[in-house]
Structure 1
Amino acid sequence: MAGRAAEPEVIWARPERAGRGPKPAYSRGDIAAAAVRIADADGIDAVSMRRVAAEIGCGTMSLYNYVPRKEDLYELMVDLVSGEYDLSGRPSGDWRADMLAMARQTLDIMRRHPWLVRVMSSVYSVSPNALRYLEKCLACLEGLDIPAGTKLELIAMINGSAMTFVANERAIAERTRSVPWSAEQEEAVRGAYMMRQVMAGDYPHLAALFASGVAPPDDPEGAFDRVLTRLLDSFASKA
């Protein structure tokens, strides 16, 4: 296949243009932006080298001269949307508050680009915006006295929590897309059915849980903050 390297390579180590010759007609930013537009509109499965090439106005085989593999295209896309983080300002000194704020940004970005849940990978952690994000998180965690590797695990768990929330929201939205009722209506019906089953007496632990009160199902922001706060507190106990 045109453009495929004979050995492993990092797309960021590959020059966008050779030292000589004409300036490329397209930049990686152009290509990534086109792919993100497609994914935002029609999902990640709609992103193909052929469609991206058509979006920017070049031939499919020509696109491989810029992006050797589809996996590289995904990496460009992840990096582009990772640039949506607001990394300005210095850490406040309260690492919990700073990391919760970063987690909320992660949740917002994944909601704007739900296809991220499908393609996110630690393999993409070497891209420019990913490195800036990691650097900011580590700066926020400077006051937390745990090993550096444990800090990276915490960052990964924060991202994983955001991915889980967004994947669940997406699944609910997809389930009700082709039916004449809302996600809230279906959730109410399912909740009522579950309550009847629990209160029948066969599930005493679940009955006790419901009797003690649980988070309201229509409070996803509050639930996310509670989960993240518990996660951050668990790492504080290791210090």
Structure 2
Amino acid sequence: MAGRAAEPEVIWARRERTGRGPRPAYTRADIAAAAVRIADAEGLDAVSMRRVAAELGCGTMSLYNYVPRKEDLHELMVDAVGGEHELWEPGGDWRADMLRVAHQTRALMHRHPWLPRLMSPVYGFSPNSLRFVEHCLACLDPLPVSYGTRMELIAMLNAVVTMYVGNELATAERTRALPWSEEQENAVRAAYVGGRLASGAYPRLAAGITENPGPVDMEEVFERMLGRVLDGFDPGD
């Protein structure tokens, strides 16, 4: 298969372009930027080697000289947008710093809605990812736990944010596809659920909804969720 490496390799360990010949016309940054533009505008499924080559104005087969596999292209994309993370001097309050990291990650995923689909430990050690993890570990310097536990905290927080944003994006996509307003949809569903609860068949659920009648503030939910994750790593709790 064209572009398929004969054995495992890491894109970052490769030279920018294999083989002899003139100076490369494109850099990995050029290729990643083109792929990100396409994904941002049309979604991840629109990204292909052929489409990126057309965006750059080169032949598809020549692109394989720079990026041998589509998986490598995805890794370049993840690393490119990872460079948008702001890395600040930690303030000494590990909880505040990690909350800032989580909010920044959420904003990044909303800017690039395709990103949650590509979040994977496989892509977790690209150049920008390494800088991001090192920054997070610096933020966690005041936390009196092992480095292994700190790595687990970073991974868990990232997973929770990815899951939360993925749900936000899916809900927004479904809402956009409705042939009626979101308010109409919610009203119909609330009426149905209200009728089921009134039957007395779900007393615990009815009690829970009575205690939290809504509307739900999703920003507050996000804050509580992050706080509970961090609570689990706080040795003072």
- Structure 2 CA distance for partners of 1:130 and 1:232, relative to 1, 3 Å: same
- Percent of paired sites with the same residue: 65
- Structure 2 CA distance for partners of 1:191 and 1:94, relative to 1, 3 Å: farther
Q: 2:231 aligns with which of 225, 230, 233?
A: 233
Structure 2 portions without partners, runs of 5+? none
Q: How many residues align?
A: 237
* CA offset digits 1:186-235 (Å, max 9, x no partner): 23432343233224311121122122226633x22221111001110111
Q: How far is 1:146 from its partner? A: 1.9
Q: Which moved more, 1:28-37 or 1:178-187?
A: 178-187
TM norm structure 2: 0.92
**Cα distance in 2 for residues equivalent to 1:6 and 1:192:** 59
Contact in 1 for aligned 2:75/2:123 (Cα 8 Å): yes
* CA offset digits 1:109-160 (Å, max 9, x no partner): 1111111111111001110110011001001111112222221221112111
Q: Secondary structure at the match of 2:232?
A: helix
**Cα distance in 2 for residues equivalent to 1:187 and 1:150:** 42
**Cα distance in 1 for residues equivalent to 2:186 and 2:166:** 16
**Cα distance in 2 for residues equivalent to 1:183 and 1:230:** 30
Contact in 2 for aligned 1:125/1:131 (Cα 8 Å): yes
The 5-angstrom pairing of residues 64-103 of structure 1 reads 64-87=64-87, 89-103=88-102
Q: Secondary structure at the match of 1:51?
A: helix
* CA offset digits 1:48-95 (Å, max 9, x no partner): 1000100011100000000000000000000001111110x3111111
Structure 1 portions without partners, runs of 5+? none
- Structure 2 CA distance for partners of 1:214 and 1:81, relative to 1, 3 Å: farther
- Structure 2 CA distance for partners of 1:180 and 1:157, relative to 1, 3 Å: same
**Cα distance in 1 for residues equivalent to 2:38 and 2:135:** 29
**Cα distance in 1 for residues equivalent to 2:236 and 2:147:** 13
Q: Secondary structure at the match of 1:208?
A: helix
Q: Which residue of 2 aligns with 1:178?
A: 177
* CA offset digits 1:166-195 (Å, max 9, x no partner): 221222222233333233442343234323
Q: Secondary structure at the match of 2:177?
A: coil
What amino acid sits opposite 1:33 in the alignment? A
The 5-angstrom pairing of residues 216-231 of structure 1 reads 216-217=215-216, 219-231=217-229
Q: Which residue of 1 aligns with 2:138?
A: 139
**Cα distance in 2 for residues equivalent to 1:108 and 1:192:** 34
Contact in 2 for aligned 1:173/1:183 (Cα 8 Å): no
What amino acid sits opposite 1:221 in the alignment? E
Give RMSD over aligned pairs. Answer: 2.0
TM norm structure 1: 0.91
